[in-house]
Chains A and B, each alone.
Chain A
Amino acid sequence: ELKVEQNPLFLSMQEGKNYTIYCNYSTTSDRLYWYRQDPGKSLESLFVLLSNGAVKQEGRLMASLDTKARLSTLHITAAVHDLSATYFCAVDMDSNYQLIWGAGTKLIIKP
């Protein structure tokens, strides 16, 4: 059974600091997704990581994938308040439409 674990589940940090959110998954998968969700809003696709060693960056967010370690990281550089949200990672069930979701990391960035 594929399981996805995120940590931390809650993170409060100051603006300007760097931090990393971790996403571990239990079985082989070739695709990992990161989504952002603002309170009361829908899910916004941030990154899709398709292969081992994949790295993608958008602004202050950088995501990477290590398929051998079954680990993805979402790194936040010089955090700003606007990045406050809940971040989910999700892993596909090969050849299936289903995503297995992490529990989400609620990120609060204080001015």
Chain B
Amino acid sequence: DTEVTQTPKHLVMGMTNKKSLKCEQHMGHRAMYWYKQKAKKPPELMFVYSYEKLSINESVPSRFSPECPNSSLLNLHLHALQPEDSALYLCASSQVGQGAVAVQETQYFGPGTRLLVL
């Protein structure tokens, strides 16, 4: 099973709203990722969690707040977003290499949440 699920599939929100995106995987992967993808562009990494700890934060504005409650779940809390934040938000997960050095493994992507900020 290489399935990553995301909810909701679509989200429309105003600039004053608070919403959350959810991601779940049951592949036993210990690395989970949030990406943002604009049309006709490759995905941009936002956050990485490794063993439920925030490992990478790619200078993302504080209106995006990630959370990893356990090894299977990843949330992205949204608050006071701007119209330019409208995009496809993708969650991904991967194995983590053994030993002290993290080794990149294939990332499996969820179906994404298409976000529109009005």
Q: Tell me, rounded to whole Å, the shortest Cβ–Cβ distance linking B101 to chain A.
A: 5
Known contacts A96-B104, A97-B102; A42/B42 CB under 8 A = no
Docked complex Cα distance between A35 and B45 (Å):
15
Known contacts A97-B48, A101-B43; A42/B110 CB under 8 A = yes
Cβ of B106 and Cβ of A97 under 8 Å apart? no
Binary contact readout A31-62 vs B (1 if CB under 8 angstroms, 0 otherwise): 10101000011111100100000000000000
Question: Does A80 touch B at the CB level, under 8 Å?
Answer: no
Known contacts A42-B90, A88-B42; A99/B111 CB under 8 A = no
Residues of B within 8 A of A94 (CB): 104
Binary contact readout B29-58 vs A (1 if CB under 8 angstroms, 0 otherwise): 001010000001111010010100001100
Q: Per a CB cutoff under 8 Å, which of A42, A45, A88 touches B112?
A: A42
Mind listing 27 A-B residue pairs with CB under 8 Å?
Answer: A35-B109, A40-B114, A41-B112, A42-B111, A42-B112, A43-B43, A43-B92, A43-B109, A45-B2, A45-B108, A45-B109, A92-B104, A93-B104, A94-B104, A95-B101, A95-B102, A97-B31, A97-B55, A97-B94, A98-B48, A99-B107, A101-B42, A101-B43, A103-B41, A103-B42, A104-B41, A104-B42
Question: Contact residues of A with B, CB < 8 Å?
Answer: 31, 33, 35, 40-45, 48, 88, 90, 92-99, 101-104, 106
